[in-house]
Amino acid sequence: MKVRIGRDELLTGLQRVQGVVEKRNTMPILSNILLEAKQDGVEIVATDLELGMRGLYKATVLSTGGVTISARKLFEIVKELPAGDIELTATDNNWTTIQAGRSQFKIVGLPSSDYPALPAIEREGLMPLAGDGLLELIRKTLFAAGDNDARYILNGLLVTLIVTDKKTTLRLVGTDGHRLAVAEQEVGKAGAKATGVPQEMKAIIPKKAAHEIRHLLEEGGDGEPLIGFSKNLMIFRKSGLLLTSRLMEGNYPNYQQVIPKDGGKTISVNRTDLESALRRVSVLSKDKASAVKLSFGPGKMTLFSASPDFGEATEELPARYEGESLTTGFNARYLLDVFSVMEGETISLQMETPLSPCLVQEPESPGFKCVVMPVKI
């Protein structure tokens, strides 16, 4: 295999796959990427057996072939090289020479024949989605999904596609048991056939897959992204790139029953003011839980935190609230995560009792709901 490729083109391809390659040393070849020189360019492939990414990049192919080499080492080398062409040559013993200007590197590779194959993909059944809409849904729910949670199913996002005869709606849900985020958006006008019966498709995608889709959408670029699901696979295509992910198996919790219904005590407050006050007051919070006490009273909200080692902090904010006073406590970090994905000027917090779930919403995004569980203080 011998190819000549622009440094920036190769760097783009290598950056994209860094999040896919396996970091743990379970199988050495999974920390490698597969480079395949074909007639029309160089294909860069990465997989951790759950998630796979494949992309074709412009290159002058002097001789076809393939090799697998360390994704991290190749990325570190290419990142330090100046702009210009890079020549990659793989020999029969899988050593790969990287030549750029006066620099030359030789790195050990493994045979391309040993690299795990990505699943075969059907082109049918992929649905075009507005990139901005999908990106917003992921951004508003990903933070709430679990990180290595013992309840395996919580380490993913529930994706629901609802098709009626009038519209197609995409809904994403993330929860780790302490907070819950639900975001939905209309993604198309085409609907179900004349039966008028809504069709619903559900799948649970791993958090890692959602992260990679988010990165690819944030790159921008031409072409509308396509997404589709088979029995146990999610397929995502975007301008020549293919991302596949195994779906998570199991039953997602019934999140609907956690969302408070109308009728609780509701306080409306300026989002930026509350976010800033929460950051300040939580500095003196006494433990890792960043616990802050919130009190709702007529026309105001009071924030309080205390630590026997450092002291205490109090801040009062103007708010719109009528009704009996209510005092509760929250992990400040959980609330700040919610506020960071909101854009509206005013937000509302609604809860029935000091220990019942708190619903956080903003008038500008009726399709977005977030629930945060309080903590005892």
Q: What is the pLDDT of residues 192-247, one digit of tens each?
A: 443 455 688 899 999 999 999 999 999 877 778 888 888 889 999 988 899 999 99
Q: What is the mean pLDDT of the chain?
A: 91
In a 3-state reduction of DSSP, which class is residue 63?
strand
| Cβ count near 94 (within 10 Å) | 18
Confidence of residue 355 (pLDDT cuts 50, 70, 90): very high
Report the alpha-carbon distance of residue 301 to residue 347 in Å, rounded.
Answer: 13
Tens of pLDDT, residues 97-132? 999 999 999 999 999 999 999 887 766 667 777 778
* Backbone angle region of 104, left / alpha / beta, with phi > 0 → left and psi within -120 to 50 → alpha: beta
pTM value > 0.75 = yes
Give the Cβ contact number of residue 352 at 10 Å.
15
H helical segments located in 22-113: 71-80
Of residues 162, 179, 180, the one with CA closest to residue 171: 162
Helix 7-17 vs helix 71-80: crossing angle, to nearest 10: 140
3-class DSSP state for residue 210?
A: helix
- pLDDT per position as a tens digit, 25-80: 678 899 999 999 999 999 999 999 999 999 999 999 999 999 999 999 999 999 99
The pLDDT assigned to 110 comes to 94
DSSP category for residue 142:
G
Helix residue ranges, H only, 230-299? 271-281
CA dist 224 and 237 (Å) reads 9
Cβ within 8 Å of residue 227, ≥6 positions away? 126, 127, 129, 134, 234, 235, 236, 237
pLDDT at 194: 39
* The pLDDT of residue 183: 96
CA–CA separation, 176 and 337 (whole Å): 13
Q: Strand 168-175 relative to strand 179-188: parallel, antiparallel, unpaired?
A: antiparallel
Given this model, what pLDDT does residue 309 score? 86
